[in-house]
Structure formats: structure tokens, C-alpha cells
Structure 1
Amino acid sequence: MRLGVDVGGTFTDLVALGAGEIVTAKVPSTPRDQSVGVMNAIESSGVEAAAVAALAHGMTVATNALLERRGARTALITTEGFRDVLEIARQNRPSLYDLTRDRPPPLVPRELRFTVRERMGPAGELVPLDEEDLDRVISELGEAGVEAVAVCLLFAFTHPEHERRVGEALRGALPEVHVSLSSEVLPEFREYERFSTTAADAYLAPRLAAYLKNLGGKVKEAGMPAPLIMQSSGGVSRIEDAAASSAAFVLSGPAGGVVGAAYAARASGYADVLTFDMGGTSTDVAAVLGGEAQTTTESVVAGVPIKLPMVDIHTVSAGGGSIAWADAGGALRVGPHSAGAEPGPAAYGRGGGEPTVTDANLFLGYLADGAELGGEVVLRRELAEEALGGLGEKLGLEAGEVARGVVRVANAEMVRALRVISVERGLDPREFALLAFGGAGGMHACSLAEELGIKTVLIPRAGGVLSALGLAISDLRRDYVSPLLADLESVKTGELEERFRALEEAAAGDLESPEFTRRADLRYRGQSFELTVEADELKRLEERFHAAHERRYGYRMEDETVELVNLRLIATVPVDKPELKEPSPEGKAEPARREADFGGEWLEVPVLRREEMGKGSEVSGPAIVEFRESTCVVRPGWGGAIDGAGTLVLEREDG
């Protein structure tokens, strides 16, 4: 069996695939040591260790380290005169009109930024590396007691000789210190983004390596193969590669969800979908075009630019555990703070007293009083009502009004997120289906679709653990880049082919019989940023770039010179993916009924158990469908049926 285990802020999910069956499990996360939750999920699934052929894992260790600034004590070595590149950055402001807002401080403080005398230029060496100066810096690093060093020298992306020599000297003199070289982490031009990405890699490496060593030991002791780790780009990598290139794993968990969503959508015949993953701590949204998750190299995570390929995900602090509160002006707010897994929402009865989105959904009847979550948590409506009532006293509202307000505020935040990855990317959301997953996604999906004019909502059978499913079916993947700054019209087919062949040879040495996808970064001359397009043929590059530019920005400039900036290669080793099949129902089950709030009116609605439904089973709103790990609220005016892949396909009946 292939196992996928995804660690979220509130729950840890597992999916096991094999022999035509899907096994799922959900247990509370263990924030102090995420590996404990991983092993608990495996134990809860009942899967025998001897039956496990592969174990893929998505985690939030790197993300949390960046968010909480709990990485390693990191130093930076750079070219003399460029000590403050990390601090100067790009001079853009985090909020244009808010003079009180500032960007987060750099990961490396100024006292830990060192310079060496050397200089490379576009054509090669200008000033030789001063070995005495290097020895001085290494001595100072030893005294500073650092855990990691980022080495970022000018023009190292094309002339890495000096940088490699610095790395060699550091590793010889300080063997316990992790060393990240920019020429290995991100061999691309733009010194600030290269410095920032390399600093993040060094900052995260010791923490991530310690976690992976701990997890690998537990997995080995249990008699299972070494885990594969999900990358931000949407493919898995060997555990030793993850420990060596930490910056590529900051979106490990969310990327698995988008891969799983694309797979489930294709199985139901939908190639273009907006994915909506609402978990306990946050909501992640992304676009899938032509059956493929969209990637970007322009991500900023916790205020840190990381210019590595990542699934183009937008995250907002609106999850089931997001805390509702009243601001100084008496307005109702939701998030960014979360109750997390410990203590969790008030309804969990674990000591949490502040109302959350989950408490609001429970009070409104969307979740059942006494329902079990993850086998360990029992929801208690009276606790949710008490917490909502406490906030209502501050706002002058009844508990029901607070609950409806909490859901509306959370929905507004999530609609904004979906517009970011659709409208702001040149995509019309009305031309997409909305695929909702995560423990809370199905409860909000119809409302969000109505706001965006979307006519179709998809709720996969394994929607509550879809990120784990995505991990279990993810291909092995590695990304390669080669800088080539030149006018496109001056580039020869032979030169392009030679460079791609060099990348493919490197990939063949890292992976066994990989498949290749060629891409290129292009821009109009004078632009600051690029767009990435398929690069299977040189003669088609320019037209593809014009079309991509028009889709993203609404116009094209065919009389302007197009520049080629980088060549990219994606190397993958595909894994077998099971076909999703849904059997017909064994009989017609009678739904339960309970009261739930729709538009301020309490209605007695049918409650269907997904386990008793099958291919062709229909539902008409208002209704509630209870999946094993999640719940779907079918609003009035919506209806649909279970398709052959096990997905509940809902259509807007009133237009």
C-alpha cells in the first residue's frame, strides 16, 4: 500500500491506497512533535507495516519555523560591500498607505552578516578570493556560535568558483555547521531574491533535518520504508534531499492538497477548478488549469521571498479554529489567531473558551452535537453557545447572531482569497468548478460559489483527507534551472537544446528513468518579472509568451523584444495511481433530520450519511451530507448526485 500522511494545524490525516481500496484516518495533531501525530495516524489506520510500499509525508515544520521565527542561528557571507542586501531588499512596502506597518526583520541580523574580499563579474573573476580574509571570517563565525551559514557572492549563479571555495573551507573548519550555497540553492540572477532564498534555506535546515531524522528513526523502527517528503512544487523527494534543501519544503502540506484536488477533479471530468482547502488553522486556495496545478517562483512566505518553484497557493487565516473577536471599534473579526489543536475550539471541551468558526458551524446546526472528530474529540454545542454568547455580550448580539456573523466574516475572507488566485491571475472564476476539501471546506463551499458566480461545486469522497490522498499519489520530482539572459531572437535552437540536455543529464543522475518537462522564463525587455511557459519548441516560445502575458495582464506587445531569462526542467518519476471508483448504493437509506440555520431561518433538513450513499445517489438542498472526515452543507437552490469517481457534484439549480 502507498501511504500519505499530512500534518495540519489541528488534525493529522492519513490515506492508504492499494489493492483497489482506500483506507483513511484522522487524529489530532501533536504540535510539540509532529512525528508523534504521524505515527498515531498510521496506528489508527490499522495498516500493517509489512504492507507499506511507500510513505509520503507533508508537514508544516518549515512553515512554522518561518512564521514563528524559530529557525537556526544563521550567518551570511557575501561579497565585500554587499553586507546589507538582505536589509535593503526591494524597498516595496507591505501596506502602501499604512505608515505603522514594516516588513519583518531579515532572518540574519546585521552582526551575523560577514563579507569577504572577492569579486566576480558577468564575464568571470574581477578580484581573486582573499584566502586570509576568508580565514578571518571563518574564525569569527566559530566564535559567534552559529548553526548555519548562507553563502551568497555576486554573480555566483553563473560563476560559482569562489562560492564553492568558501563552502569547502567552511565545511572543513566547521563540520557541525550547515552551509547553504546560493549557486546550489538558487542559481538565478537578482541578488536580493537569491540572498533571501539561500538565507531561508540555511535558517530552516538544522530544524528540518532534526525533525526528519526523528521521523525517519520512528518509521524505520516500525518496519516501514523511509518516508518521501512533499515539496512545495507538488512532487515528493527522498528524505535526504529534503534535509539538504529545506527552502523547497515550506509549502509541503498545502501542495499535497492541490495535487490531490487535481487528481480528484480529473477523475470526475473537470480539468479547470479552483481548489478550496479549509482546515482547522487556515484556508489554502489555488487554481488548476488543464488538470495541472499552477506553480510560481514569486512566493513570499512569512515575509520572506523564496524564489523556488512552488504551487501557486494563497493562504488566509480563516480556518475552523480561527478565533472570533471584537476589535476596538466594536466590529466582529475572525482570525488570524487560531485555537489550533491545543486547546482547540470551545466546543472541544479542552479548555478553549474563545469562539471559533467551528463553534459557529456547530451552533447553526451544520455540525451535529456530540459528533466525534478524529476519534478523540467530541463536539459539545452548549460550550459553543457559551463562548458565542460571551462574545455577543461585548457586541450587543445574541449567540445566534454572532454565529451567523462569524460565518459571514470568514466567508468574506475566503472569497477575497479565491479572487486573488483567479481574477488577479487573469482567470474568470465563473468558468471554473469549485473543488472544496479539508475538514471544514464543504460547509462553506456553496456560499462561496454563490458569491463568485460559480455554478458547480465538487466534494470528493476523501475530501476531509484530500491532502493526504495527494501525497499518496505524488510523483517523485526534482526541479532544475539554468540562467540564460538573452534576446529570444538571438537564441539558436542548438544552444537551447545543449543547455536542456545538460540539465537532463544532471536529472538522470539524481532520479531513475525520469520524464522531462521543459519550460522557460520570458519577459518583454525592460520588465522586472517573467512569465513561465512550455519550452518544447523554440519557434513557439514567443507566441506562448504573448498569450500568457495577455491572459495575466490583459494585453500583449508584439512589437517589443522578448527576452529569455531562465531555462527550467522538471524531472519526474511517475507512480501508479489507482482509479477512483464508486459502487452503487446497497439500498435506499432513510436520512436523519435536524434543525439548521439557513439565511437566518431555522429549518428541519435531511442529514445524509455519505457512507450509505453511492453512485447515482441524489441530494437536494437544503440538506447536510456527513462524510467520514468532513461535512457538506447543501444550501437551498443547490442539488446534485454522487458520480462514478465518488465525488458529490453539486449544481446551482436556480441558474
Structure 2
Amino acid sequence: MVEVALHASDNLSVAKQRDPGQSWVRLGIDVGGTFTDLVVLQDGQIRTAKVLSTPSPELGVFAALDKIGPVEIDLFCHGMTVATNALLERKGSPTVFLTTAGFRDILAIARQNRPSLYDLTQPKPEPVVPRHYCLEVQERCSVGGVLEPLTEAEIQRVIQIVAEQVERDGIRSIAVGFLFSFLYPEHEQRLGAALRKAFPNLHISLSCEVAPEFREYERFSTTAIDAYLSPALAGYLHRLAQGCEQRGIPQPLIMQSSGGVTSIAQAAAHASVALLSGPAGGVYGGAYLGQLSGYGNLLSFDMGGTSTDVALIQNGIPQVSPAAVVGGLPVQQPQIDLHTVSAGGGSLAQLMPGGGLQVGPESAGSNPGPACYGRGGTAPTVTDANLWLGYLPDGGWLGDAVQLRRDLAEQALRTVADPLGLSVQEVAVGIRTLANGAMVRALRVISVERGLDPADFALLAFGGAGPMHACALAEALGMRTILIPAACGVLSALGMALADLRRDYRRAVLRPLRSLHQVGSTLSDWAVPLVQQAHLDLQNPALQFSLDLRYRGQSFELGIPVQLSDPVECIEQQFHATHQQRYGWQDPAQPVEVIQLRLQAVQALPKVPLVAPDPLLRDLSVEVCPPRGQRWAWFGGAFQKVPVYDRLQMGIGSHVQGPAIVELPEATAVIEAGWRGTVDQVGTLILKRCLVCANE
């Protein structure tokens, strides 16, 4: 039944037809842990909405749509946390895992490496498929080919066992992972075809389709996760598609973890590609806006209600990792290279057994939310601290759904302050300082630990809480420029509305790089099936290739962008230079191995050019916008009265100098002393560190 509704393919049939001269209207909706954000792009203008997320995510989507009123949408792009939450909370579907005989325990054994190397008591994350649902299949392939054939009798035996478990335990999904299926997929394909015929209502994930890469544990883990999550995501997308059809809205394209969107049918078939779709939208949107403002090298800083995501953008391109670890489990799917910490506006502050103060990892979420929301929360959060310190207005509204109350924030802060014998002020400052420390460490991971100087980058701050902390983080890292987009509070939704169709392909190579000199073994030869598939899936796609390379004997690879015509010597030199930057050493005498050839294929969708909103164009001659009021807030180690500016009344070229507060429709910017901001042509507030200002 789900498949009937999810019929959209990866082409422009997902959009309504427009005359060439008409403007496209694009919709982006991001379902986060606390808020559901909406952006409509029309005639270069942005309309936004923000509502509280709901237990059934589609209800929040429809509530956001109802909030903006009737509008004719041409393209709808969507990202959500449905798959992420199902994995973290272990609320996926009962799944059977079928694997090569002798490898039943591989999901439980996992790898030897662990976060705390010397803590032998630390438990490993539980696999999504328990051992009693891991079944062995008599077959075996090796690097040289088939060792033990998969017989028809064995296929029928497996089907009978699975049928018994389906009837007894309500199994809804099957994952299949055989040894060396990335080289010899025939066994998985034959068993998969038989399973799909025998169980048409079950979801089937094959590792040769989900993650055709070597390293059996990571491949099997990804396939099991894909099978475990896909029924839940498909069910949500089915309900969403039905609601869109009733409202006359095109079926949504789904944001992938790697950036770019795919069809709703593709996402429903393989939930693993959309595991981190929400954060990916923000990075994609940030890279786009950064380019418009003339900044290609950025550290992206997205602070939401539950967590903070940081990412590296170089030359306008978000960095993509071939894999991620989510909930302690590896997922071998291309992902925007994010580093996440549990420091969001809703992160709870609590006392440790030894009497110290800790912020996160637990979050108040959207229900009950921070104490100041007045929805039943009693524990203090980062948002409560920011409100009490004056950065947020007492009595102000968030998304027209929540009114902030400073008195409730103070009550919550006292639950920590009184046992510690501290003042509310000291605890509020301490909570903010601890949250900032966690976020600074995250930004160091994607910059300093990769051989990059943060001072060479601009900090792109977004999310509902990001601009409140941006100046403090930039100062700690020695950064001199901050970008705060006009739609920073809903930037993930904006990034989704701007995204193009994307597919990622890969092929295992596993041979010395210099062997690609040989006729019949060139990069072009290896790329042929990938290119053919890309042209079947997309219309006139732009193709970008990369190689996963390593020194012989290394355990991990580096991704190196390449052209198919590049000489092997040039590729090798580029690898040595990248290795030097990342790890601080290189060894040109060591042979280099090619592990994987990757292809990123992108089909451009109609763009909607962004221009500054109408209120910004009223009077270009006004460079200094008068503040709309003042507020007591914590700056420079003391409370002082600072000007508060309405961002929508600041025209292009308008200046603001810290200390000050700038209120945006979905976020608040705290501008510390020593920072001076100017609104550019696309409405982005660009802050510059001004030492002269800091000394005044």
C-alpha cells in the first residue's frame, strides 16, 4: 500500500508544470526535535513559519502549511528526524538479518575500537537486530569468486525459517548481507528476488544495493539499519504524501544526508540515505548564502533546540564524508561531514554526583521544553540561562506558539544555584560558558584537528540559538568574521528549498593506484557502469568523481576529488599533500592504494534567486537603523542597558555596533563589544571583529 502512494521518480515530474516566463515557487520544510520550520521561496522573497514539532511529524508539517495560508507550490523539498529518532530510540521495525554461515555474530562483535580506549567496562551499542534474529545462509564468496554456491534448496529453507518468524514475531523487514557481495552480488540478488516474491509486504534491504563497499561489519551494520528504519520512514512518507495530495501540493523530494534531494520513493526504499537530512539542509543552505555574500570558506554552526551541528565548507562546497556514526553504529552512506554535540537551547543543566555542573546531553525537547516555555519543564536549560541574562525578551514569543517567562527560568535556575550555594547569575553565566565550551571544542574538531586555522574561515551562525553564541565562539577561536543570514532561524528549511536532485554511486576497486596505467583498468573503464546508472536515474546530471585512497596497509582512506583524465602521478601527489595537511606527515615512497571510486551526480532544479526582503529596500540612504528599544543584558561581565534592533527594519548597508541585540523573526543575535555588523545585498548581517571598537 505504501508503494502506491510513493511513486515520484527522480525527475521534474515531481513538480507542477510552469510556463518558461513564470516564477517557480519552492517550499522547504524541516522537522526538528523542537520546532518544525517552513520556508517558501517566491520571486526571490522568503516567507517563513515556525511551529512546535508534534509526535506525528506530518501534523507539524501541515500545521506549518496552514499557518502561511494558501499558496501554489511547484517544488516541495523536505527533511526530518523520523529515521534519526527511530534509530536513537530503537523504535524501528522487527528485522531479520541473513548472512553467510559462520558470521551470525558479526553485528554484536563489531569492532575493537571504542570511544574510551582503556575503559573495558563500557558497553558497546546494541545492534538493531538481536542475535536470535540473525540467521545463517549456506553460501560463500571470496575475493577470487564463489567458494560455496547458493542452492535453490537453501533459498527455500531460508524462506521457510523466515516465514515462521514473520508469523510468530511480526517481522516487518529483512536485511541480507553476504561476504564479498560488493564484488559478487549474485547470491544476494537471487535470495533477495526470492524473498520479495515470498514476502511482498515486507521490506527487503540487500547490502549490495545499500552499501556496496568492503569491510563487512560496516556494510552489514548499514544494511541492518536500512532495513530496521525503512518501514517507519515509508509509513511517515505515505501519510505525508496523502496529506500533500489532499492539499494539492506536489509530493515532497526528500533531503539526503549527503546534501541534495531524492525522490520520495527512493527515500522510502532506503531510509539510511536520509538519516541526517535535517542538518544537511542547513549546511547546504549556508554554503549557498555564503557564496552569495562572497564567502566560500566557512565553519557552519547550527545550534538548535536539542544539539549543535558544525561542518566545514571550503570553496563554497560542503565537505562530504563517506560514512557516519549515529547512535554509536556505523552507517556507510555519504553524509555531509557533520560533528554534533549535545549542546542546544534545550540542553538540560544538572548537578553531577561530585557537585559539579553539567550541561547536556539530555534535552528538554519540545515537550515540555525549557522551563521558561511554561509547558511543565522545571529543570534549567541553556535557553533559560539566555533568557535570564537578558538576551531573550521576557514575554517574547517563539514561533507564535510559546511565550517566554523569565520568572519560570529563574525558578529553574535556582534548583541548581541553591544546592551549589551560588547566585542565579553565577549559574546562568556558568551554563552558558559550559555550552560555549562544548561548541568551541566541536568547531576545533573540524578545523584545528584537520590542520586548518579557524581564523582563515568565517563563522556562519544559524539555528534558533546559533547567533546568540556566535561572537563568544568566534573570539575563542580567533575568528574575525561572522555571517548571520536573515533566515538563520529556518536555514535548514531554506537549504532544502534550494537543493538539487542528487544521487551517489560507488564501486570497489581495491588495487594499487599505479595499476590504473594499464589498458582496461583506467579510471574511465571503472566509471562506465556508474555513469550509465546516473544517466538512467537523472536528467543530464553534472558528474563529480573522487577516489578513496590510502597508503598500503592503512586502515582508513582519504577522499580525493579527481577527473577521469587526471594522470595517476597527479592523483598521487594530491593524495600526499592532503595526507600531509590532515595528519601532519606524508611518505611519497609508500605505494598508494585505490579502495573506492565514487560518483556524485547532480541534476539541477529550477533556481529561485534570492533578494533582500522588501522591508530592507525602503530607504537605502539610511545606514544606521535606530533601535526599537533597550534591554538590560549581560555583556562584559556585568548587566548593562544595550540597544535592541529589529532586524526587519535594518536596510541594506545598515550598521550596528556591539554591545547590542538584534532580533530576527526566528532567532536573536547577541553582538558583543568589539564587533561591528553591516547588512549586505542579500540580507545577511556580516559581523567583523573591530579591535578599535573593542578598545573604545
Give the shorter-chain TM-score range: over 0.9
TM-score (norm 2): 0.92
Contact in 2 for aligned 1:324/1:335 (Cα 8 Å):
yes
Partner deviation per Cα, 1:548-588 (whole Å, 9 max, x = no partner): 11111111111111111111111111123333333445354
- Report the CA distance between 1:46 and its aligned residue: 2.5
Gaps of 5+ in 2: 1-24
SS in 2 for 1:247: helix
1:615 is aligned, of 652, 657, 662, to 652
Contact in 1 for aligned 2:551/2:590 (Cα 8 Å):
yes
2:42 is aligned, of 18, 31, 36, to 18
Partner deviation per Cα, 1:165-220 (whole Å, 9 max, x = no partner): 11112112222221100111111111111111111111111111111101111111
**Is 1:532 aligned to 2:559, yes or no?**
yes
Measure the CA separation in 2 of the matches of 1:346 and 1:434: 30
1:39 is aligned, of 26, 51, 62, to 62
- Report the CA distance between 1:268 and its aligned residue: 0.8
Measure the CA separation in 1 of the matches of 2:249 and 2:609: 25
SS in 2 for 1:366: coil
The equivalent of 2:4 in structure 1 is none
**Is 1:132 aligned to 2:142, yes or no?**
no
The equivalent of 1:549 in structure 2 is 579
The equivalent of 1:266 in structure 2 is 291
Total equivalences in the alignment: 652
The equivalent of 2:483 in structure 1 is 458
**Is 1:67 aligned to 2:104, yes or no?**
no
SS in 2 for 1:491: helix
The equivalent of 2:101 in structure 1 is 80
* Structure 1 residues 481-500: aligned runs within 5 Å: 481-492=506-517, 495-500=522-527
The equivalent of 2:236 in structure 1 is 211
2:163 is aligned, of 133, 138, 142, to 142
- One-letter amino acid matched to 1:573: Q
The equivalent of 1:573 in structure 2 is 603
**Is 1:467 aligned to 2:504, yes or no?**
no
- One-letter amino acid matched to 1:555: W
1:27 is aligned, of 33, 51, 54, to 51
Measure the CA separation in 2 of the matches of 1:162 and 1:415: 48
SS in 2 for 1:400: helix
Measure the CA separation in 2 of the matches of 1:572 and 1:616: 35
Measure the CA separation in 1 of the matches of 2:419 and 2:607: 52
* Structure 1 residues 64-463: aligned runs within 5 Å: 64-145=85-166, 146-463=171-488
Q: Which runs of 4+ in 1 moved over 4 A?
A: none
* Structure 1 residues 633-644: aligned runs within 5 Å: 633-644=670-681
- Report the CA distance between 1:612 and its aligned residue: 0.5
Partner deviation per Cα, 1:426-463 (whole Å, 9 max, x = no partner): 22111111000000000000000111111111101110
Contact in 2 for aligned 1:585/1:613 (Cα 8 Å):
no
Measure the CA separation in 1 of the matches of 2:428 and 2:242: 45
- Decide which moves more: 505-514 or 582-591: 582-591
TM-score (norm 1): 0.98
Measure the CA separation in 2 of the matches of 1:580 and 1:644: 10
- One-letter amino acid matched to 2:173: A
- One-letter amino acid matched to 1:562: V
Measure the CA separation in 2 of the matches of 1:570 and 1:8: 27
- Report the CA distance between 1:499 and its aligned residue: 2.3
- One-letter amino acid matched to 2:81: T
Measure the CA separation in 2 of the matches of 1:121 and 1:325: 53
Partner deviation per Cα, 1:25-68 (whole Å, 9 max, x = no partner): 111111x11111111111112241xx200100010001001110
- One-letter amino acid matched to 2:361: P
Measure the CA separation in 2 of the matches of 1:368 and 1:535: 51
- Decide which moves more: 312-321 or 393-402: 393-402
Measure the CA separation in 1 of the matches of 2:155 and 2:467: 57
Partner deviation per Cα, 1:490-521 (whole Å, 9 max, x = no partner): 11375321221321111111112211111111
- Report the CA distance between 1:394 and its aligned residue: 1.7
SS in 2 for 1:416: helix
Contact in 2 for aligned 1:584/1:616 (Cα 8 Å):
no
Identity over aligned pairs, percent: 55
- One-letter amino acid matched to 2:65: I
- The CA RMSD over aligned residues, in Å, is 1.3
The equivalent of 1:521 in structure 2 is 548
- Report the CA distance between 1:97 and its aligned residue: 2.9
**Is 1:509 aligned to 2:531, yes or no?**
no
Partner deviation per Cα, 1:241-271 (whole Å, 9 max, x = no partner): 0011111111010000000110111111001
**Is 1:646 aligned to 2:676, yes or no?**
no
- One-letter amino acid matched to 1:618: H
